[in-house]
Amino acid sequence: MVAVTEMHRDADPDEIRALAELAFIEVGKATRGIGAMHRAIADRVFSTVRLGVGGFAAPTQLMHDAIAEGTYRSIAAGCSVAAEVASRTIDGHGSTLSQTKRGAVALGALTGLIGDALADAHSPLAQQMSVRIDGKACSLDRESLAHDHPDATPDLVFFLHGLMETEFAWEIGGIPTYGSRLANDLECTDLQIRYNTGKHISENGAELALLITEVAANWPVPVDQIVLVGHSMGGLVARSACHQAALAGQEWATKVRHIVCLGSPHLGAPLARTVHLATAALRRIPESRPLGNLLHRRSGGIRDLHAGSLVDEDWRDRDLDALRQAAISEVPLHTGAQHSFVSATITRSPSHPLGRVIGDGLVLHGSAGGRDRRRNIGFADDAGMHLASAHHFTLLNSDSVYTWLVRRLTGS
């Protein structure tokens, strides 16, 4: 595992060049996929034609296939050349997309889709686990932390965004954010985390555990309490980090007092399950196989949302494309911490038929509360809040949620 400070030091600022290169590569792959779909459909058509005219259709099919294959091959080759040219000639020096709100939104979506592949390729577009201030990654040595946090307090609150998001997502709905309000109201220090949501949740959990270890060791004042607040996937990453830190005997894990999950799919997300089934179905038919292959490329982070996987054992050495996936490991709630959750539904009542099927648009009420007819992760009966007539992203910045959050953190 690469140390967090080392990841910052090795970061490549030339993101524009890498993004241009990736664009041409992806267009080339898409072209080959369209070509494969075209060929499958054409084969089906010519097979039908041969039933009527026999071998007379063969010359026409040969000519069609040669022209079509040559066209798609030429486009794909052109994209490969363009990607090579882009990687060598486009000057992106000084333009760091990831530090701007719009650039961060685009890269957040990109890493959510293929972030694991970008990380494996050591692409500068793969967002590293980091503490961010105004979009910039912060160094975690003692001197830098003291400079960046002149009003450092003993109580730390780590905020973790969800899939395809960045720390800017907490500003949805306006400013101030939960973090800035808590810093003022509870005299704590909020730390905004950005991470590569395309990587497996357990991988991000391990990296978060290392990051908190480094922050706690170099914090300007002794750390007393730690709180983790996660939206959607962020809540699962927080749970995974605490679980791994506890197993490793890391000291900071004993200082975690609260873990708050806002719309986190502890039992999985229906959209992830739908994509899993659709991928298997589409890849069985030649005409739709390219679409199935496209869905097959979805990231490890998205795959983990199928059932809310938190540990390596859930994906390592397993066939993740099996139609019937193996049961996941049940990870207990972190000992010594109070666990809270917020669910939302687009309907007033979570028991409304539409609300039960759609939930907040991405996560169902039962999954956010960690309980259904088959699984129960152990939230206390009074540990949750339901936000009515709201969608998944309302949870990122809501006065009602904030008021509830303060009550949970203060015990009032």
The residue extents of the domains of the chain are 4-95, 127-268+328-410
DSSP H or E stretch at residue 356: helix 353-358
Provide the residue type at 315 as one letter: W
Whether the pLDDT of residue 161 is over 90: the answer is yes
Backbone angles phi, psi at 130, to 5 degrees: -160, 155
- Residue whose structure tokens are 């890391």: 250
Give this prediction's pTM: 0.80
Q: Helix crossing, 15-53 with 289-296: angle to 10°?
A: 160
pLDDT at 293: 57
Whether the pLDDT of residue 18 is over 70: the answer is no
pLDDT at 126: 86
pLDDT at 221: 98
Angle at 132 (CA atoms; ends 112, 394), nearest 5 degrees: 60
Q: How confident is the model at residue 360 (pLDDT cuts 50, 70, 90)?
A: very high
Residue-averaged pLDDT of the chain: 81
Measure the CA–CA gap between 359 and 162, rounded to whole angstroms.
17
**Percent above pLDDT 70 for the chain:** 70
DSSP H or E stretch at residue 258: strand 256-262
| 208 within 8 A of 196, measured Cβ to Cβ | no
Q: Which residues of 42-75 are buried (b: 16+ CB within 10 A; e: fewer)?
A: eeeebeeeeeeeeeebeeebeebeeeeeeebeeb
The encoded tokens of residue 283 equal 């890849």
Q: What is the CATH number of domain 127-268+328-410?
A: 3.40.50.1820
- Residue whose structure tokens are 């040969």: 62
Whether the pLDDT of residue 396 is over 70: the answer is yes
DSSP 128: P
| 241 within 8 A of 205, measured Cβ to Cβ | yes
Q: How confident is the model at residue 93 (pLDDT cuts 50, 70, 90)?
A: very low
DSSP H or E stretch at residue 341: strand 338-344
pLDDT digit string, tens, across residues 174-223: 889 999 999 999 999 999 999 999 999 999 999 999 999 999 999 999 99
Measure the CA–CA gap between 262 and 232, rounded to whole angstroms.
6
First to last CA, the chain: 41
Displacement of CA 134 from its chain's centroid (Å): 20
pLDDT at 59: 60
pLDDT at 201: 98
What mean pLDDT is predicted for residues 395-405?
Answer: 97
Helices (H), 219-332: 233-248, 270-282, 289-296, 300-304
What SS3 string covers 186-224? HCCEEEEEECCCCCCHHHHHHHHHHHHHHHHHHCCCCCC
Query: By mean pLDDT, which of 7-16, 247-256, 344-353, 402-411 is the weakest?
Result: 7-16
What mean pLDDT is predicted for residues 234-260?
Answer: 98
In this structure, the number of other CB atoms found within 10 A of the CB of residue 356 comes to: 15
- Residue whose structure tokens are 């333009």: 95
pLDDT at 229: 98
pLDDT at 124: 83
Measure the CA–CA gap between 288 and 247, rounded to whole angstroms.
45
The overall longest dimension of the chain from CA atoms, in Å, is 85
Q: Helix crossing, 178-186 with 399-410: angle to 10°?
A: 40
For residue 231, the SS3 value is strand
pLDDT at 406: 98
Beta bridge partners of 66: none
Whether the pLDDT of residue 26 is over 70: the answer is no
